[in-house]
Structure 1
Amino acid sequence: MSSAAGHVDRIAEIAARYRRAILDSSPHLVELGVMNNFPAGACGQACLLLGEHLWSRGQGLWRLASGMRPGEGPIVTHSWLVRDGLVVDITADQFDDVDTPVVVTLDDAWYQPWDRLGSRWARLDGTSGQDTPSLRQAYDHIDAVLTGGRAG
């Protein structure tokens, strides 16, 4: 296995574990007002949390990219993580045309049609503009679930 393939596999493993931990944390997250209907409508918060987790696990600094789906009808927005051409998305299955719960790919074809709304660092250190005490509490709870600690 090449180094690049190994890296993609490692990120996919981390992302899949993180998504499972979010699902396992769902009742507590709802109490905090975070990701109430995961994965629907939770992409931005999920990206910030996963981006922080990847950073804390030595997997580099990720960008939270966001876009608006073109077309008629209601406005649809979405967010995903990007780093060095690698896309990580743990909420894409909220859309009818995606059935994979965790997307980790170098092929960004599904994301190309989205009209870009911008990007920012996916961190909980104040640089995202989206940091809230409840989001930090959610991060700590999910981290405790991942590490087998007591989540409160």
Structure 2
Amino acid sequence: MKDILERFHKALEKISWPEMPSQFQEFPLGTCGDISDILAEHLYEQGFGSIDYVCGIYNGRSHAWLEISGYAVDITANQFSDISANFLYQPPEIWHYKFKEKTRRKAGYKTFHGPAIPDIEVLHDEIIAKLENVTIYEDTHKFNQQK
């Protein structure tokens, strides 16, 4: 799982956010819900089964993440000042417990209909395109070249 999340995060880093649909241009701010649903679709394609989308409120701020088999999977947690990791994959009791849960549903966007879906699909396609050129060893390779 951690390798999948690391690759997904690296793909997000390669996106030219100003060129994305307007609701994504301030990534990661305000994008956690849609990004979590896109990640869920990617995880379904990798063979993962039951995935929950969870949204909660803490200090007046909403945030969304996924939960899989008792683990919080949060690809946008680093927008918070107390998170230095690129993503979180840990029991929700460690950090997510402080969010008062407002929504819990089956994760993913492909069963929804509405005006935002085409923009989510544009971003999803861009992430998949970036994933094709990402390996989890890029940073190590760059480090080794600098020695």
- TM surpasses 0.5: yes
One-letter amino acid of the counterpart of residue 97, structure 1 = D
**Change over 3 Å in CA distance of 1:128–1:108 after alignment to 2:** farther
Identity among equivalent pairs (%): 28
**Change over 3 Å in CA distance of 1:63–1:107 after alignment to 2:** closer
Q: TM-score, normalised by structure 2?
A: 0.80
Q: Distance in 2 between matches of 1:46 and 1:131?
A: 13
Q: RCO higher in 1 or 2 (8 Å CA, sep ≥ 6)? A: 2
Greater mean deviation of Cα atoms: 59-68 or 124-133: 124-133
Aligned positions of 1:105-120 closer than 5 A: 105-106=90-91, 108-120=93-105
Alignment match, 1:26: 16
Paired positions, count: 133
C-alpha deviations, 1:96-148, integer Å up to 9, x for none?
11111111113532111211111122212224878610101211121122124
**Change over 3 Å in CA distance of 1:93–1:27 after alignment to 2:** closer
Partner-residue secondary structure (3-state), 2:2: helix
Q: TM-score, normalised by structure 1?
A: 0.78
C-alpha deviations, 1:24-63, integer Å up to 9, x for none?
12347x4322421222222111101101100111122311
**Change over 3 Å in CA distance of 1:146–1:132 after alignment to 2:** same
Alignment match, 1:6: none
Aligned positions of 1:50-129 closer than 5 A: 50-70=39-59, 75-106=60-91, 108-127=93-112
Contact preservation (8 Å) 1:43, 1:78:
yes
Partner-residue secondary structure (3-state), 2:97: coil
Greater mean deviation of Cα atoms: 41-50 or 126-135: 126-135
Question: Which sections of structure 1, spanning at least 5 residues, go unmatched?
Answer: 1-10
Question: Which sections of structure 2, spanning at least 5 residues, go unmatched?
Answer: 134-147
Contact preservation (8 Å) 2:54, 2:104:
yes
**Change over 3 Å in CA distance of 1:50–1:97 after alignment to 2:** same
Alignment match, 1:15: 5
One-letter amino acid of the counterpart of residue 13, structure 1 = D
Contact preservation (8 Å) 1:34, 1:135:
no
**Change over 3 Å in CA distance of 1:19–1:67 after alignment to 2:** same
Q: Distance in 2 between matches of 1:122 and 1:68?
A: 18
